[in-house]
Amino acid sequence: MLDSPLIERRSLATELVERLRGLIQEGQLRPGDKIVEPELCERFGVSRTPLREALKVLAAEGLIDLSPNRGARVARISPEAVEELFPIMGMLEALAGELCIGRMGTADLALLEALHTRMVAHWRAGEWAPYGRLNRQVHEEIFRIAGNGALAALYQSLLIRTHAIRFMARKTPERWAEAIDDHERIMAALRARDAAALNLIMREHLRHKADVVHEVLKQLDEG
Amino acid sequence: MLDSPLIERRSLATELVERLRGLIQEGQLRPGDKIVEPELCERFGVSRTPLREALKVLAAEGLIDLSPNRGARVARISPEAVEELFPIMGMLEALAGELCIGRMGTADLALLEALHTRMVAHWRAGEWAPYGRLNRQVHEEIFRIAGNGALAALYQSLLIRTHAIRFMARKTPERWAEAIDDHERIMAALRARDAAALNLIMREHLRHKADVVHEVLKQLDEG
DNA sequence: AAAATGAATAATGAATGCAAAATGCAAAGG
DNA sequence: CCTTTGCATTTTGCATTCATTATTCATTTT
């Protein structure tokens, strides 16, 4: 018998969780926005029950804040939260890098090199969007090679919380160059399979990312 | 005006999340158990709506598995999951230790010493329960001193997933001694404020904990 | 007797309804 | 004119209801 792909069966709540995550990530719903249940119900054509289930899940993920009888708001990320979250993400990336070094074959490294090279090319060309996409791909690839699904999932969930901010403002050229430099050093450590060095660089890289987010938050405050 | 503590307002769903977490932690609900909604509704005297919201949250936390139209089960922890989760927890504890060293005052260290000493005394007396309690307190205290709430919350959520297993079987005397030795070395690194050393020990300590859980899982399989 | 079928039963998914709480706003009072 | 109070409206929390999907078990079939 041909193995047919299983029929995907999803609850409305699950679907809604993903849709809402998407809306928050791409800025349709912005940090601080009030979420009114009847409004979203109409938008998606569902009743309040599955929507409320979805909101509870998003609240557990930290993407929205729920206050009893007062409804939901898209979570704002505070400078304090950045100072808490990014060191954690640094550790997770450091672990991913370490596992990656222990498991990657030549093909894996070659793929990372290719992605890195293309990323740098886009930087040189000043092409922000494709640069960002490849940057993300490099990190995702490292997690994939690391082969720890729970680690990847955890990192992803923390990343989303900060992503809502980042698309809202642009990096300075200096910060951009700094990020490229970090990535060069990451690649060097991967080539050398130097776990200790990669560990340090990853955490430093995330420290820099935190700095960028702080600058963005300041921009938003002023502008 | 005297600042009165705010009146605590909780939804039934929130209450249920905590109650159910408790039931799972203390083994009233065991890994693999089917969760039947009407049953729990009767038990807690609530309708299915808030219960279902709670189940969605617990599923997001990884404590239960939900399959569409087929209901919920308390999540089983697999050896593979242990191999994924414990290295992550090791990194989180390592970060907590590092932050702790950077922030602890003499009073903090003294408190840790006191807890440690009492813990060792219970070990010598072979008193398992109070030992376990103090062990937990030591780790909690380190996270408290570290002063990163998100880190503590994340660690806690990973810890709960494994706790459901651990109460089910007992450590061997060798493993117990090993844990004590780890803790001695943790205290030594804290006294010396040696972050690098603490980092290594914490990760090793969690590696040992993972080994213990593997042994417990094997016991459960056989027995 | 074992496997397959189908009807009865029970559980889940989602919508609706209702009571309690919050919000907005106009009128009354300072 | 600004603040406060009370009422109408809106929104949320939860229970109930209805429809759909599993599960169980007796019956049939091989």
SS3 string of chain B? CCCCCCCCCCCHHHHHHHHHHHHHHCCCCCCCCEECHHHHHHHHCCCHHHHHHHHHHHHHHCCEEEECCCEEEECCCCHHHHHHHHHHHHHHHHHHHHHHHHHCCHHHHHHHHHHHHHHHHHHHCCCHHHHHHHHHHHHHHHHHHHCCHHHHHHHHHHHHHHHHHHCCCCCCHHHHHHHHHHHHHHHHHHHHCCHHHHHHHHHHHHHHHHHHHHHHHHHHHHC
Residue whose tokens read 């290719």:
A114
What is the spatial distance, in angstroms and rounded to an integer, between the CA atom of A171 and the C1' atom of D20? 51
pLDDT band at B43 (very low <50, low <70, confident <90, very high): very high
What pLDDT, on a 0 to 100 scale, did the predictor assign at position A220? 79
Put simply, the chain A residues between 117 and 146 with a CB less than 8 A from any chain B CB are none
Domain with CATH 1.10.10.10 in chain B: 12-74
A150 in contact with B, Cβ within 8 Å: yes
Q: Give chain B's length.
A: 223
pLDDT band at A2 (very low <50, low <70, confident <90, very high): low
Please provide the CATH number assigned to the domain covering B79-222: 1.20.120.530
> What is the nearest nucleotide to B51, using C1' and CA?
D14
- Least CB–CB distance from A56: residue in B57, B95, B154: B57
What is the spatial distance, in angstroms and rounded to an integer, between the CA atom of B36 and the C1' atom of C13? 14
| CB spacing of A92 vs B91 below 8 angstroms | yes
pLDDT band at A61 (very low <50, low <70, confident <90, very high): very high
pLDDT band at B113 (very low <50, low <70, confident <90, very high): very high
- Flag whether pLDDT at A223 surpasses 90: no
What is the spatial distance, in angstroms and rounded to an integer, between the CA atom of A49 and the C1' atom of C5? 37
| CB spacing of A87 vs B151 below 8 angstroms | yes
Q: Average model confidence (pLDDT) for chain B?
A: 94
- Least CB–CB distance from B9: residue in A13, A68, A87: A68
What pLDDT, on a 0 to 100 scale, did the predictor assign at position B166? 72
Cα B45 from chain centroid (whole Å): 29
What pLDDT, on a 0 to 100 scale, did the predictor assign at position B3? 61
What pLDDT, on a 0 to 100 scale, did the predictor assign at position A222? 76
- Flag whether pLDDT at A167 surpasses 90: no
What pLDDT, on a 0 to 100 scale, did the predictor assign at position A9? 83
- Flag whether pLDDT at B15 surpasses 60: yes
Cβ within 7 Å of strand C: which of A 34-73? 46-50, 69-70
| Chain C footprint bases within 7 A of protein beta carbons | 11-17, 21-23
What is the spatial distance, in angstroms and rounded to an integer, between the CA atom of B77 and the C1' atom of C3? 35
- Flag whether pLDDT at B164 surpasses 60: yes
- Flag whether pLDDT at B169 surpasses 80: no
pLDDT band at A3 (very low <50, low <70, confident <90, very high): low
CA distance B185 to chain A (A): 22
Amino acid (1-letter code) at residue B114 = A
What is the spatial distance, in angstroms and rounded to an integer, between the CA atom of A66 and the C1' atom of C30? 38
A4 in contact with B, Cβ within 8 Å: no
pLDDT digits (tens, 9 = 90+) for A14-55: 999 999 999 999 889 999 999 999 999 999 999 999 999 999
| CB spacing of A88 vs B87 below 8 angstroms | no
Class of domain A12-74 (CATH, top level):
mainly alpha
Mean per-residue pLDDT, B94-99: 98
What pLDDT, on a 0 to 100 scale, did the predictor assign at position B6? 72
Domain with CATH 1.20.120.530 in chain A: 79-222
Q: Any atom of strand C under 7 A from CB of A90?
A: no
* Residues on chain B touching A84 (C-beta within 8 angstroms): 148-151
Q: Which of A212-216, B53-57, B115-119 has the lowest mean pLDDT?
A: A212-216
pLDDT band at B8 (very low <50, low <70, confident <90, very high): confident
| CB spacing of A88 vs B150 below 8 angstroms | yes
Q: Average model confidence (pLDDT) for chain A?
A: 94
| CB spacing of B84 vs A150 below 8 angstroms | yes
pLDDT band at B82 (very low <50, low <70, confident <90, very high): very high
Nearest residue of B to residue A51 by CA position?
B53
Residue whose tokens read 């090791």:
B90
pLDDT band at B66 (very low <50, low <70, confident <90, very high): very high
B14-44 b/e (C-beta count within 10 Å ≥ 16 → b): bebbeebbebbbeeebebeeebeeeebbeeb
